[in-house]
Amino acid sequence: MQNRILMEERMFSHNHVQMVCFKLYYTFFVLVPYETKWMRCLMWGQMKQHRTRNPTETTFSHFSQAQLRPPSFPFPLSYTTNNMAERGGGDRGGFGRGFGGRGRGDRGRGGRRRASGRRDEEEKWVPVTKLGRLVKDGKIRSLEQIYLHSLPIKEHQIIDTLVGPTLKDEVMKIMPVQKQTRAGQRTRFKAFVVVGDSNGHVGLGVKCSKEVATAIRGAIILAKLSVIPVRRGYWGNKIGKPHTVPCKVTGKCGSVTVRMVPAPRGSGIVAARVPKKVLQFAGIDDVFTSSRGSTKTLGNFVKATFDCLLKTYGFLTPEFWKETRFSKSPFQEYTDLLAKPTGKALILEEERVEA
C-alpha cells in the first residue's frame, strides 16, 4: 500500500513538472513574441505616419501605452488594402508580402494625382510616328484606311482617336506566374484583356507585371495595338446587315482548338463564356462554336478564339475576285505635310530663328 502511494505521488509530481514546463514554454516562446510582433508593427506604422506629418522631428516619446496596445482583430485594418494594385485590380488572394502590400505603407491620395496626370498626358498626345501625325491632323479618319495599306499601328492613341468611346475593354483573367531565381521565387501577375467596339474590331492583349494595375494597364495598351478587322457575312440570303461569320473557320493555340460555323439569324452566340465575350466585342450576333483541348486554360482559349476571328479574312471568296485598284499610301499622299517639323524639333527651330 505504501509503495503504491509513493508511485502515485511520483507520477503526480512528474505530470506537474511537465505542465509547468509547458506553461513556461508557451508564455516565453509563443505569447511574448506574438505580442512583441504586434507592438513592433503598430509602433512602426504610427512612427511612419508621424514622420510623414512631422518630417523634422526624430523622437517618438509622445506614444502612450494605450496607443501601443495590441488590437483584438487578427490583422491591422490599415494595412490590408494599401496596395494600389489591389485597389485597381480587385482581390489578389494570398500573394501579399507582409503588412502594407510589399511594405509601401499608406500612400494617401497619390494614386488620384497620378491618374489625373495620365489623363493630362492623354489629352496632350504628341504623336511620334507618321501615322499618328496623320490621324491627329484628321487626314486618316477610319481604321479601314490603315488596314487597306497594312500600316503598322505603334501608338494606342490612334485607336482611341479613330474608334472613340465605343471601344470597350474587359479583363478576362488575372493569374499569378512565378519564376525561380537565386533569391527565391519571383511572383508576377499576368492579365488577359479583350477590347472591341462591337462593330467589326477586336483586340487581345497579354501583359505581365509586378502590380495588378500595371499589368491591366499594359494589357489594355497592347490590346489596342493588336486590334484587327473581323469579317462578317450571312448564313443564307443577303438580307439586312451581316450577322455571322462568312464561312467555317478554325483557330488554334496550344491544345485548344476553336471552330466557328455560320448560324441563321436569331440563333445567338452558341459558345462558352470566354469565346462568347470575345465574339460580342467583335460584333458577331449569330454563330455556332465547338472547342477541343484544355479549354480550362483560359489564356489559350481566348487566343484560339482571337486566331479564329483573324482567319475570317484569310479566305478568298468570289467577292474578292475583282481587279484590285491600287491607290496611293497615306505616306505618299501627304508627303509634304509629313516633311514639316513638328513638336520638339519645331520649338528648337523657332528658338534658333529668334536667336
pLDDT of residue 352: 72
Cell numbers placing 181: 531565381
Residue 120 or residue 18, greater confidence: 18
User: Given pLDDT bands bounded at 50, 70 and 90, which one contains residue 127?
Assistant: very high
pLDDT of 223 > 90? The answer is yes
pLDDT of 29 > 70? The answer is no
- Indicate the helix (H) or strand (E) that contains 262: strand 256-262
Q: Percentage of the chain surpassing pLDDT 70?
A: 63
Residue range 26-45: mean pLDDT, rounded: 51
Q: Distance between CA 13 and CA 15 in Å, rounded? A: 6
- Strands of 164-255 (E only): list them: 168-181, 184-196, 201-209, 228-229, 249-253
What does the angle CA 139 – CA 143 – CA 147 come to, to the nearest 5 degrees?
105
pLDDT of residue 291: 97
DSSP classification of residue 261: E
pLDDT of residue 76: 38
pLDDT of residue 86: 40
Tell me the pTM: 0.65
pLDDT of 2 > 50? The answer is yes
Of the ranges 22-26, 101-105, 295-299, the best mean pLDDT one: 295-299
**Closest of 282, 265, 263, 268 to residue 199, by C-alpha:** 282
Residue range 66-93: mean pLDDT, rounded: 40
Q: Distance between CA 226 and CA 203 in Å, rounded? A: 5
Q: Distance between CA 99 and CA 105 in Å, rounded? A: 8
pLDDT tens-digit readout, 140-171: 999 999 999 999 999 999 999 999 889 999 99
pLDDT of residue 8: 53
Cell numbers placing 103: 511594405
Of the ranges 70-74, 116-120, 138-142, 348-352, the best mean pLDDT one: 138-142
Residue 106 or residue 257, greater confidence: 257
Q: Distance between CA 7 and CA 2 in Å, rounded? A: 9
What does the angle CA 346 – CA 351 – CA 355 come to, to the nearest 5 degrees?
150
pLDDT of residue 343: 61
pLDDT of 10 > 90? The answer is no
pLDDT tens-digit readout, 46-72: 545 555 555 554 444 444 444 444 444
